[in-house]
Structure 1
Amino acid sequence: NIANIFEFQLVHDCNVQLAQYRNAVQCIGTSQDGAQLRKDLDTYGRACVRSCEAAKSCVLPQLRHEVEFTRHASHFIGCVNACVVEMRRCEALERTFPMGDPSVTPQQISHMEEMLETLENLITVHFSTSESSPAERVTPRRRRAANCRPTCVCSKLKTSYA
């Protein structure tokens, strides 16, 4: 299916961009930190946001209308969540180790948080409408041993640790 391949490519690209961004964030405050790293952070962060935006346009309609989530949708939600975590981490590290303008703005973080919240809300709606009602669920009865009576204390339990 062409749509699934396209969706896979978008989510894969999102994951690749996130990995590059994460690797760069890990270098803040180390001996590898410098002007080039901060420039790369800005580039990778923007690329990560752009790839998440592109994947969102493909995955969101699926989350609203499909009966089942695909594996790609689950991976995409994980990527967006990890992107938010890395952006917050980058912001905190850049505050601790300042060098010029920060590569992540609070607006970028809030934009990604809104995207994540939208995805989480769609998951909640999906699972709350697709679950069967509690009355329709069958709860298995607890099994007792054949020689056990509910009114007696089970003699098979050890009561002494001596």
Structure 2
Amino acid sequence: AQLQLVHECNAQLALFRAAVQNIGTTTDGAAVRREVETTGRACFKACEAARNSILPQLRDAQGAEDGNAQEWSRVASLLIGCVSMYLVEMRRCCALERTFPVPTEPCITNNQITAMESLLENMENLITVHFSTTEGSPENKVTPRRRRGTSCRPQCMCSKLKTSYA
């Protein structure tokens, strides 16, 4: 179900991106700006719904090393990618609206951008904590021994180099 929510975020992001691409073109006008606002709001809600579903599961999986915890980390990573792309598109939308102003309210507000930045930071922090707690202690890790070549000494190194390319 959570993966479906992330796919919904991606679908809404694609619609928002397509709508933003019309800003500043010959088709730009009130209808395009309404579409940008509508798709932006839908993407915002989809990202928040996915976050509200994934965050509790990720918090519960913290410190666990089973496959379920890894799956939650994967889903959260997918959401992080989607939210970061949404932030890029939101900023692009704001820049395009400043470049091509129309007498309507801005489609994306600074509050929306701040909320998405906060959501992204929260998710990234949880993933970082999850991986730092699931990693084994350094004492338990096996460090490979450094291998030394048995047949080669520094003195004979030059005999193995190719000296002529003719």
1:43 matched to 2:38? The reply is yes
Q: Which moved more, 1:65-74 or 1:123-132?
A: 65-74
Q: Is the 8 Å Cα contact of residues 28 and 94 (structure 1) preserved in structure 2?
A: yes
Structure 1 residues without counterparts, runs of 5 or longer: 1-5
> What does residue 84 of structure 1 align with?
87
Displacement, 1:161? 8.3
1:114 matched to 2:114? The reply is no
User: Where does 1:118-157 land on structure 2 (aligned, <5 Å)?
Assistant: 118-149=122-153, 151-152=154-155, 154-155=157-158, 156-157=160-161
1:33 to 9, 28, 33: 28
CA distance in 2, matches of 1:142, 1:99: 67
SS at match of 2:108: coil
Structure 2 residues without counterparts, runs of 5 or longer: none
Give the helix-richer structure, 1 or 2: 2
Runs (4+) off by over 6 Å: 159-162
Q: Which moved more, 1:38-47 or 1:59-68?
A: 59-68
Displacement, 1:18? 0.7
Normalised TM-score (structure 2): 0.83
CA distance in 1, matches of 2:137, 2:164: 45
Normalised TM-score (structure 1): 0.85
Displacement, 1:55? 0.8
User: Where does 1:85-104 land on structure 2 (aligned, <5 Å)?
Assistant: 85-100=88-103, 101-104=105-108
Q: CA RMSD in A?
A: 2.1
Displacement, 1:15? 1.1
Q: How many residues align?
A: 156
